[in-house]
Chain A
Amino acid sequence: NAGVTQTPKFQVLKTGQSMTLQCAQDMNHEYMSWYRQDPGMGLRLIHYSVGAGITDQGEVPNGYNVSRSTTEDFPLRLLSAAPSQTSVYFCASSYGQSAEAFFGQGTRLTVV
């Protein structure tokens, strides 16, 4: 039982490049979400999903796409990376009304 697994752990991109941050959970959790964490700003919700095939925008969705084709996976796509997207990205999952969110180890992304 690995929990929530994020890959890669570190990534450097050039401005304009695209990439996908991977998130997988093996706990059969319905709910998954993506956050970005910037210094002094806490975590901000990018996109979230309440089940396979259902996604919705969070607080800061611009520049990011998501899809949820399976319960286990929730990839985050950066369409055209910008320096403002330099951040630490966390994926989280939870089950129903249990409240407890399980976070992945994070992906530290630098856009130059």
Chain B
Amino acid sequence: GQQVMQIPQYQHVQEGEDFTTYCNSSTTLSNIQWYKQRPGGHPVFLIQLVKSGEVKKQKRLTFQFGEAKKNSSLHITATQTTDVGTYFCAEDLIQGAQKLVFGQGTRLTINP
């Protein structure tokens, strides 16, 4: 079945450093969604990318969708302690129906 591979599995940074997580697929993705899950919490939707080469920004977060629609990245500039959590990418196999295939997630920890 479809697989979305996410790397790295863990990332520890000093507060103020940048952070990037990557999602890769062997097949073309119809879309990619990004979620954040705080420790002990539930996933919270961040964004969806649909178009080839799409780039979207949310304050310090930059999301990219590759030209071939086989990879995506989330970059956080100047991390803050509030960024701690696990970041997941996911493909919605039936657009809007929430038939989501998740990557394994990248757990971000930050040294203040």
- Complex CA gap A100/B100 in Å reads 11
Whether A93 and B96, one on each chain, are in contact in the complex, defined by CB atoms closer than 8 angstroms, is no
- Does any Cβ of A come within 8 Å of B88's Cβ? yes
Closest to A92 in B: B98
User: Which of B31, B97, B101, B102 is in CB contact (< 8 Å) with A31?
Assistant: B97
Whether the Cβ atoms of B104 and A40 lie closer than 8 Å is yes
A109 within 8 A of B: no
B103 on interface, CB distance cutoff 8 Å: yes
**B99 CB–A CB distance under 8 Å:** yes
Given A43-B88, A99-B31, A99-B92, residue A33 in contact with residue B100 (CB < 8 A): yes
Q: Does B85 reach chain A (CB closer than 8 Å)?
A: no
For chain B, the bracket of interface size reads: 20 to 34
In the complex, how many residues of chain A place their beta carbon closer than 8 angstroms to a beta carbon of chain B? Answer: 29
Q: Is the CB of B45 within 8 A of A100?
A: yes
Which residues from 42 to 87 on chain B have a C-beta closer than 8 Å to any C-beta of chain A? 42-45, 48
In the bound complex, do residue B101 and residue A101 qualify as a contact, i.e. CB atoms below 8 Å apart? no
Chain B neighbourhood of A98, CB < 8 A: 96
Which residues of A sit under 8 angstroms from B100, Cβ to Cβ? Answer: 33, 35, 43, 45, 92, 101
Identify the B interface with A (CB < 8 A). 1, 6, 9, 31, 33, 35, 41-45, 48, 88, 90, 92, 94-105
Residues on A lying within 8 angstroms of B by beta carbon are 31-33, 35, 40-45, 48, 50, 58-59, 90, 92-94, 96-106
8 A-B residue pairings within 8 Å (CB atoms): A35-B102, A42-B102, A48-B99, A50-B97, A58-B99, A99-B31, A100-B45, A105-B41
Q: A97-B96, A103-B43 are in contact. List 16 more A-B contacts (CB 8 A).
A: A33-B98, A35-B102, A41-B104, A42-B105, A43-B90, A43-B100, A45-B100, A48-B97, A50-B97, A58-B99, A92-B43, A99-B48, A100-B45, A101-B35, A104-B42, A105-B41
